[in-house]
Amino acid sequence: MSQSHTDYTSRFAIDPAAAAAMGTDELRHNFHIDGLFQPGRISLTYTHYDRMIVGGAVPTGAPLPLEAIKPTGTKNFLDRRELIAVNIGGAGVIKAGGQSFELQARDMLYLGMGTNDVSFASEDKDVPAKFYLLSAPAHQAWPSRLIRIGDAKRLDLGSKNTCNERSIFQFIHAEGVKTCQLVVGMTQLAPGSIWNTMPCHVHDRRMEAYLYFDLAETARVFHFMGEPDETRHLVMRNEEAVLSPGWSIHSGAGTSNYAFIWAMAGDNVDYTDVDPVTMGDLR
């Protein structure tokens, strides 16, 4: 039997009252995810928030196969799941279901339920691809689709005056690629802008995960979470992720501009279906 190149951990769902009583270490243990991008490994976090799996794959030698893990309870990883991979590293190749897809930095690949024989490779092991992986349960097999960053739906929002000038790239939206429940996009903040998702919101119908990247080694993002009247924060480094339950706000301010990938799973795929939080309700 060949040696596995996959590691996984699990995160149980936390209710808002329990989160409000947590200190820094407990909050980080339950909501913060680091170590996603390990050379030559696939690292996965299985969450009990809408059964979302968040992970990373960094192929540095032979292609890394997408292997089933015990929590999915299936022979193959995608037997009852869909998956999105976003490349934030060097050029890479994903093979899936007999097809081969070449991904440059910030390109995204959607793989539908039932896709087998999935593997990840880098074109140059010295500048490896870094595939950010997101997977949720699926009820229907939609076709696999490659979406290049230039083909994503782009929205330019915010202003310098409010320090939130940004470009939103919607990979998955109502007029585009069909999914069962995954909704994924990327936001790039302009130089001089540091705030994301403020004014903030919640959406009890869906959980969300953020991956912060394009941060200098000494830069940080202060990610805000919790119920609107009971907020907390986590300090995020480059290429770290954070889980956001449906009851929690999700917003951040950086020591410089940055990019982040946002991903949701839950009861609908309506990007605009949120419950706004006024500035006066925040504490």
In three-state form (DSSP H/G/I as H, E/B as E, the rest C), the secondary structure along 244-260 is ECCCCCCEEEECCCCEE
Distance (Å, rounded) from C-alpha 193 to C-alpha 189? 6
* Per-residue tokens: 40: 């030559």
**201 labelled ligand-binding:** yes
Q: Which amino acid is at 89?
A: G
Task: Assess contact for 66 and 100: CB atoms under 8 A.
Answer: no
Burial 231-262 (b: 16+ CB within 10 A, else e): bbbbebbbbbbbbbbbbbbbbbbbebbbbbbb
Task: Assess contact for 132 and 36: CB atoms under 8 A.
Answer: yes
Distance (Å, rounded) from C-alpha 188 to C-alpha 194? 10
Distance (Å, rounded) from C-alpha 258 to C-alpha 78? 32
| Closest C-alpha to 197, from 138, 145, 139, 258 | 258
**48 labelled ligand-binding:** no
Sign of the CA dihedral running 38, 66, 147, 47: negative
> From the annotation, which residues make up the binding site?
201, 203, 208, 250
Residues making up the annotated binding site for Zn(2+) are 201, 203, 208, 250
